Chain A
Amino acid sequence: NAGVTQTPKFQVLKTGQSMTLQCAQDMNHNSMYWYRQDPGMGLRLIYYSASEGTTDKGEVPNGYNVSRLNKREFSLRLESAAPSQTSVYFCASSEAQYNEQFFGPGTRLTVL
């Protein structure tokens, strides 16, 4: 099993450009999450999907949109990138809401 996979691993954008971060899990988990991690601030939840067909805002949703494409895939879109969105983005999944979360390898995004 690959677990949680993310693409791309690295990305550099110019201010105003858009992009989609892809995430997939092969553990048959119901719930999926997108976090960003900034130095000294820990992991902050951007959006989550409790189950296929549902998505909800987390702590820092502004400037992002998500799509739960099917049970396996959960994508994060930046419509108009800003330098404040420079961060490391992690996707995670869990079997159910109270279970442990398993993280993907991350995407390192720089917005110039």
Chain B
Amino acid sequence: QKEVEQNSGPLSVPEGAIASLNCTYSDRGSQSFFWYRQYSGKSPELIMSIYSNGDKEDGRFTAQLNKASQYVSLLIRDSQPSDSATYLCAARPPGGFKTIFGAGTRLFVKA
């Protein structure tokens, strides 16, 4: 069973701090990885995609991928109350169309 595991949280950080969200995946052959943000009652919204080892930065967000450890993370710098949401990690195993989603980590940013 291919899986993507996330700590369900909630992860609570003060405003202005760095929030670190982590994810592990079971299929070593996975090549594509995605982070989505989902506000309560809303649909998932793509934040970042990452395909190669290392860091990828976009504004306050940095995605990190370590294929040897089968580990993906998302760092949110200068966290804001508006970042409070559930963050979904997803991995695309090789072949096929089945993106595997984690159950999500709830983030709460305290003002």
Tally of contact residues, A, Cβ under 8 A? 23
Residues of chain B at interface, number, CB under 8 A: 22
A-contact 0/1 string along B5-49, CB 8 Å cutoff: 000100000000000000000000001101010000011111001
Which residues from A are CB-within-8-Å of B49? 100
Find out whether the CB atom of A105 lies under 8 angstroms from the CB atom of B43. Answer: yes
Q: Give complex CA distance A44, B45 in Å.
A: 16
Q: Which of B60-68, B70-78, B92-100 contacts A (4 or more CB under 8 A)?
A: B92-100
**Does B46 lie within 8 Å of A100, measured CB to CB?**
yes
Asked whether A42 lies within 8 Å of B88 as measured between CB atoms, the reply is: yes
B residues neighboring A (CB under 8 Å): 4, 8, 31-32, 34, 36, 42-46, 49, 88, 92, 96-99, 101-104
9 contacts between A and B (CB under 8 A): A41-B103, A42-B4, A42-B88, A43-B88, A48-B97, A100-B34, A103-B45, A105-B42, A105-B43
Closest 9 CB pairs of A and B: A42-B103, A43-B101, A103-B43, A42-B101, A48-B97, A103-B44, A106-B43, A97-B97, A100-B46
